[in-house]
Amino acid sequence: MLGRLRKLKEFMAPPVFEGDADKTRVAWLLNIILFTLIARAIFIRFVTGSEATRPSLVVPFVLVLLAMLFVMRNGAVRAASIVTVCGFWISLTVAALETGGLQSAGFRNYILPVIVAGLLLGQKAALLTAAASILAGIGMWVSTDQSIVGTAEPAGPFALLLTHAISLVMAAVLVTLAIRSIEQGLDRARQELADRIQAEHDTRESEERFEKAFNLSPLRMGILKIKDGEMVDVNECWVRDMGFTREEVIGRSIFDLTAWAGAESGRIRRLLQEGKPIRNWEAQASTKSGEKRSTLVSAEVIELSGEPCMLWVSHDITDRKRSEKALRDSEELFRTSFENATAGVCLVGTDGRFLSVNHTLCEMLGYSREDLSGLSFNDITLEEDRHIGATFVAKAMLGEVNSANFEKRYVHRQGHVIWAYVSTALVRQPAEGRSYFITYIQDITERKEAEEQLKAKSDQLRALMTSLRSAREEEGVRIAREIHDELGSALTSMKWDLEAIDRVVARVDDAVLSSSLQTKITAMAAVVDTTIDVVRRISAELRPSILDDLGLAAAVEWQAQQFQSRTGITCCYACSVSHIELDPERSTAVFRIFQEALTNVLRHAGATRIDVSINEEKEELVLKVQDNGRGILESERTDLRSLGLLGMRERADLMGGSVEISGVRGAGTTVVLRVPHLV
């Protein structure tokens, strides 16, 4: 039963045409009129069914009305309206002709199609329908005068016609006025409805935009009621940053949320009581985990559902506050370090002028802060050293370097020179549009003086050592010459005497005595020969005469041969220099270094072969000694107790040369001596 009622309701419901309010309105009126006319026709059919003249048009008329319902629901509302008005008017006209003309009920009902036409089709249709009804009445009046149409009251047809015509005209006028009023009202209603719909649309769009901006904002936002501080909403950023859920906050008073805003509850209460906008208000808030956050709050008064609320925006400035504190601490630390540094510290502009100086630098240079503020670096730099700072500044401004360390000399206010070790760096500040140098200046005058004294003493020691070595060599030459000349001569004379005695003894008649004496003499001669060899060796070691007689190359070759014959270690010698001429002191030093190298091979290398070469490279004499022994260790090469290696380096250094010693474990040791200024 309910299903049938629902279907009947759906069948009787008027159609709705989206986007066309006028068409929907006319369809709604037509739907009511069609069902009313259908009900009227059915009522006439069954109530007046005893009259044979009336029922004949009822069924076709109902079928036409049902067809118009179908046409209307398919969108042809105007066509259905025209057919309905025409059909209704025709049915009344036919009924009037069949039932008495002007005096019939059908003629009296002509006012109904006029009203229907006005409602469905407008003012013109109502006037046309009224005119058609008047014309139909005139036709009926003429027909009544000619007895074409029967009437129950033959008298007064004109009066009836006039009366009905006036009624129809009045009905048309009234319908016109009513339609115009209705249309004006509908126009206003449509405009108000459109305005309301647009306003609602704009409101929805505004709310959607606000909601998106609210939840997508990178700043923490929220809404609370002014009267009691009840939280209305918070955005996603607030939930994410503070750690609370919306359920824990929304609907509760901000004064109850002590874990979040308890530190500022008193100030918040006063601000809500004032009900005024807030701008850049610094506040403290706590996350759910208890972390303290610094925020910058701004708020505006708004209305939600007629109730005043506060929309607030909170910008987290915790990192900024920490950065500001760190910056303050850093500046204070820099200021303290700047002022209390044991070295001179200053800030210098790119033009070389002092921007700031500390007390130590003032004392170092003898100037006050005010004096230095009017000077540049060059003003206090010794003229010979001004290029040092200028070169660095030029490179730094071109971006080639950022910092440098160097030594330079400054001029004290009293005129004496100060040696300084300078460390400087370029500080760029693009945001502020400036750059400057921060410079540390350490007074090294005492160190430089000590270095000069040490250098002087070192030079004196070197000169003394050179003199001692020269004296020793000269003494060795003298001793070698005396040993060679005196002892050699004496031993040679002794050998000659022994040979003479041997000849005398050979003539002795006693054979036993002669043989015994000759044996003794032979033994003594052998001792004399051995002594002569020892004298020669000692003399050669003190000063090999070959070095003076044949030169360095021959002396090196002779020494290698002597070393091979004495030790059994193979010595291979090669010399690519055809003629070597060094002054005697340098020749002696090279030869002594070569002797020390051979001695080290014998003592430490455990080698079986030595390669010796003399070459010339870039105006340097190069003596190279390479063995195949165990290889010198790094610790041995740098051991300060290795007096032999130290002596070799010292001899080379006194000549302005160098000794390079390298070794490979298990592959031998190489000694390279380089002596400059080959002559």
Residue 626 predicted with pLDDT over 60:
yes
Pull the structure tokens for residue 581.
Answer: 């001429």
H helix runs in 483-510, sequence order: 488-505
CA 206 to chain centre: 37
In the structure, what pLDDT confidence band is assigned to residue 63 with cuts at 50, 70 and 90? confident
Residue 191 predicted with pLDDT over 50:
yes
Model pLDDT, residue 166: 47
Residue with tokens 């016109």: 176
263-284: average pLDDT = 83
Pull the structure tokens for residue 224.
Answer: 């609370």
Nearest of 129, 58, 120 to residue 91 by alpha carbon: 58
* Of 254 and 182, the one with more pLDDT: 254
Model pLDDT, residue 51: 46
312-318: average pLDDT = 87
Do residues 268 and 261 touch, judged by C-beta distance below 8 A?
yes
Model pTM above 0.85: no
The amino acid present at 428, given as its one-letter code, is R
309-321: average pLDDT = 86
601-618: average pLDDT = 81
For residue 31, count other CB atoms closer than 10 A to its CB: 20
> 220-225 and 278-286: which strand pairing?
unpaired
Dihedral of alpha carbons 532, 537, 541, 544, sign: positive
**DSSP helix/strand/coil, 543:** coil
- Measured between alpha carbons, how far is 222 from 229 in angstroms, rounded to an integer? 12
Pull the structure tokens for residue 318.
Answer: 């915790």
Do residues 293 and 318 touch, judged by C-beta distance below 8 A?
yes
Do residues 627 and 563 touch, judged by C-beta distance below 8 A?
no
DSSP annotation of 632 reads -
Find the angle CA(36)-CA(37)-CA(42) to the nearest 5 degrees: 100
Q: Mind listing the pLDDT tens digit for each residue in 345-366?
A: 888 888 888 888 888 889 888 8
Highest mean pLDDT among 44-48, 292-296, 304-308: 292-296
Please give the helix or strand (H or E) that residue 262 lies within, else none: none
User: Backbone phi, then psi, for 311, in 5-degree steps?
Assistant: -95, 120
For residue 89, count other CB atoms closer than 10 A to its CB: 21
Least confident of 79-83, 246-250, 383-387, 482-486: 482-486
Least confident of 97-111, 274-288, 317-331, 574-588: 97-111
Do residues 120 and 85 touch, judged by C-beta distance below 8 A?
yes
**First-to-final CA distance of the chain:** 137
In the structure, what pLDDT confidence band is assigned to residue 461 with cuts at 50, 70 and 90? low
Residue 611 predicted with pLDDT over 60:
yes
Residue 489 predicted with pLDDT over 60:
yes
Model pLDDT, residue 133: 76
Nearest of 15, 14, 4 to residue 36 by alpha carbon: 14
Q: Mind listing the pLDDT tens digit for each residue in 495-554?
A: 676 666 766 666 666 666 667 766 777 777 777 677 766 666 665 565 565 565 567 777
User: What percent of the chain has pLDDT above 90?
Assistant: 0
Residue 50 predicted with pLDDT over 50:
no
User: What percent of the chain has pLDDT above 70?
Assistant: 71
* Of 525 and 476, the one with more pLDDT: 525
* Of 304 and 511, the one with more pLDDT: 304
Q: Mind listing the pLDDT tens digit for each residue in 87-116?
A: 778 877 777 776 666 666 556 666 777 777
Model pLDDT, residue 154: 43
Model pLDDT, residue 612: 84
Model pLDDT, residue 136: 76
Dihedral of alpha carbons 212, 217, 220, 226, sign: negative
Residue 652 predicted with pLDDT over 60:
yes
Residue 172 predicted with pLDDT over 60:
no
DSSP annotation of 601 reads I
Dihedral of alpha carbons 34, 39, 40, 41, sign: positive
Residue 470 predicted with pLDDT over 50:
yes
Residue 161 predicted with pLDDT over 60:
no
Least confident of 23-27, 141-145, 479-483, 601-605: 479-483
Q: At what angle do helices 584-600 and 552-567 cross, to 10 degrees?
A: 20
Number of H helices, E strands in the chain: 25, 15
Q: What is the mean pLDDT of the chain?
A: 75
For residue 629, count other CB atoms closer than 10 A to its CB: 21
635-643: average pLDDT = 65
Residue 471 predicted with pLDDT over 70:
no
Do residues 26 and 120 touch, judged by C-beta distance below 8 A?
yes
